[in-house]
Amino acid sequence: MLKSKKLLFIALLACIAGSLGAQTDSPYSRYGYGVLRDQSVGPSRAMGGIGYGLRNSQSANPLNPASYSRVDSLTFLFDIGVNYNMGKLSDEVNSEKKHNGGLDYITILVPIKKGLGLSFGIMPYSSVGYKFESTETNGSVMYNKSFSGSGGLSQVYGGLGYSTPIKGLSIGANVSYLFGTINHKRQLPAISGSGTNTSLDNTELSVKAAKFDIGLQYGFPIGKTKNLTLGAVYSPKINSSADYTNVHYIFTSSETEPTTTEHNGIDAGIPETYGLGFTINSNNKLVFGADATYQRWSKVKYSSYMNDGLSDADRFDDRWKYSAGAEYMIDPYDRSFFKKIKFRGGLNYSNSYLNAMDKNNKIDGYNEYGATLGFGFPIRDNIGQRVSYINLNFEYRKIKPKLKNMITEEYFGVSLNVNINELWFFRRKVE
């Protein structure tokens, strides 16, 4: 009965996760699929976002499905995260503060048998959220221009990780269903011979696509108390499609019927991705590592119907991301609360996959810099003596455009995730 109630509770949370929405206030999210969201979860998020070489028995690591094989054969792992961000947007003249947050992700990791783990959950892929406007004149007539957008893409994934008969080698794969709707609203003047009216465009892009990740990890000792784990992940290019709808209005003194344009099956591709990383585990006290990710966005097909003002050659750039991080615990074998606290930190850097257009019609992207700090506070189950964790993470991100007159963004974030580690698969003897 207890397990049934827990499964019902988890199913309810999965339904709530459908409300994963835009968690950004960036004008750059007007382009492409918006701002890409961090795919790391749980402890790896506070370690700069590393994950390719990370084998953690305390939570799922969707960045490399080969890590699922690390799960204990009697363990059920459930992880849910929420976040809050305060952002500051500034240009050469003005600045503005933004606030957002909400439910971030849900992951579950369970063993099928020794050396074979199953994980599934829901995570964000990208976010769209912006609103800006300006007042301009046409002769003696003043009019407003405004642009706003919302939505984003989420992914529901399921994956397996398997420890092969080759000592130290694990392989795994994820299959994800990528879905979501991106909305853009644009209000502009409609100048005609009779005067200046207002036009309004509501554009909607609905994406549904399959995404695949193949991963491997190979671990071996490099000393009496140290182990090195190498990890690699590959995601093939997906030439997916989407549905496009645009509703165009012109507001005049007389009633005007809106004009609706629809196109099904337009280009909305997902890039080929390569990831390499490593971690070194020293006596289960200190874990540190680094990742490198390459996404081939320049070869992605994207429809010109989205009217972003960019050509196929200018729209996307290949993206590189580098991450490094560490985790330290005083004594993993001590029963003391303080000695089992986990201290984490990390750094990361990436260039943008998207380009944006400034007020002078120049086109370029931005660089993103990040730093993370986190703490894992243990919670002991009095019945099963399993250790769960409450993870508190702090993050700083800075988006620095390559063109001086574009907007610089700074974000200060706090995230909290609860990682439940329970003994679900233990059979009691009946006497």
DSSP 3-state of 80: strand
State the average pLDDT over residues 60-72.
Answer: 94
pLDDT single digits (tens) 24-35 = 788 999 999 999
pLDDT of 5 above 50: no
- Alpha-carbon distance of 414 to 374, in angstroms, equals 10
Band of pLDDT at residue 1, cut at 50, 70 and 90: very low
Burial of 177 (0-12, 13-18, 19+ CB in 10 A): middle
State the average pLDDT over residues 279-287.
Answer: 95
pLDDT for 350 equals 97
Longest CA pairwise span in the chain (Å): 93
pLDDT for 141 equals 60
Using alpha carbons, list the distances in angstroms from residue 13 to 7, 8, 16, 80, 105: 10, 9, 5, 9, 10
Mean per-residue pLDDT of the chain: 87
Using alpha carbons, list the distances in angstroms from residue 23 to 103, 331, 340, 354: 9, 37, 32, 18
pLDDT for 253 equals 62
DSSP 3-state of 26: coil
**Model's pTM, two decimal places?**
0.89
pLDDT for 160 equals 97
pLDDT of 149 above 50: yes
Residue with more model confidence, 359 or 150: 150
pLDDT of 429 above 70: no
Band of pLDDT at residue 254, cut at 50, 70 and 90: low
pLDDT for 11 equals 47
Are 275 and 291 in contact, with CB atoms under 8 Å apart?
yes
Band of pLDDT at residue 425, cut at 50, 70 and 90: low
Amino acid at 229: T
Quote the Cα angle for 287-291-297, to 5°: 160
Band of pLDDT at residue 139, cut at 50, 70 and 90: low
Least confident of 66-70, 94-98, 166-170, 248-252: 248-252
Query: 187-190 — which CB contacts under 8 Å span 24+ positions?
Result: 187/144, 187/145, 187/146, 187/147, 188/145, 189/136, 189/138, 189/143, 189/145, 190/250
Query: What values do phi and psi take at 379, rounded to 5?
Result: -130, 120
DSSP 3-state of 305: helix
pLDDT of 2 above 50: no
- Alpha-carbon distance of 52 to 232, in angstroms, equals 6
- Alpha-carbon distance of 52 to 70, in angstroms, equals 13
Q: Which of 134-138, 338-342, 418-422 has the highest mean pLDDT?
A: 338-342
| Alpha carbon 62 to chain centroid, angstroms | 11
- Alpha-carbon distance of 417 to 431, in angstroms, equals 40
DSSP 3-state of 70: helix
State the average pLDDT over residues 108-133.
Answer: 92
Least confident of 14-18, 215-219, 297-301: 14-18
pLDDT of 147 above 50: yes
Residue with more model confidence, 48 or 427: 48
DSSP 3-state of 387: strand
pLDDT for 257 equals 72
Amino acid at 114: K
pLDDT single digits (tens) 302-318 = 988 888 889 889 999 99
pLDDT of 127 above 70: yes
pLDDT for 191 equals 56
DSSP 3-state of 5: helix
State the average pLDDT over residues 287-299.
Answer: 97
- Alpha-carbon distance of 310 to 297, in angstroms, equals 15
Residue ranges of domains in the chain, CATH in brackets: 21-423 (2.40.160.60)
- Alpha-carbon distance of 198 to 252, in angstroms, equals 7
For the chain, report the end-to-end CA distance as a whole number of angstroms.
21
pLDDT of 383 above 70: no
pLDDT of 365 above 60: yes
| Alpha carbon 309 to chain centroid, angstroms | 26
Band of pLDDT at residue 396, cut at 50, 70 and 90: very high
Count of CA atoms in the C-beta half-sphere (13 A) of 208:
4
Band of pLDDT at residue 282, cut at 50, 70 and 90: very high
pLDDT of 8 above 50: no
pLDDT for 54 equals 96
Number of H helices, E strands in the chain: 3, 19
Structure tokens at 272: 């080929």
pLDDT single digits (tens) 367-381 = 999 999 999 999 875
pLDDT for 18 equals 46
Query: Dihedral of the CA atoms 51, 56, 60, 62 (nearest 10)?
Result: 20
Question: How many percent of the chain have pLDDT more than 70?
Answer: 86
Residue 17 contacts by C-beta under 8 Å, 6 or more apart in sequence?
103, 105, 106, 122
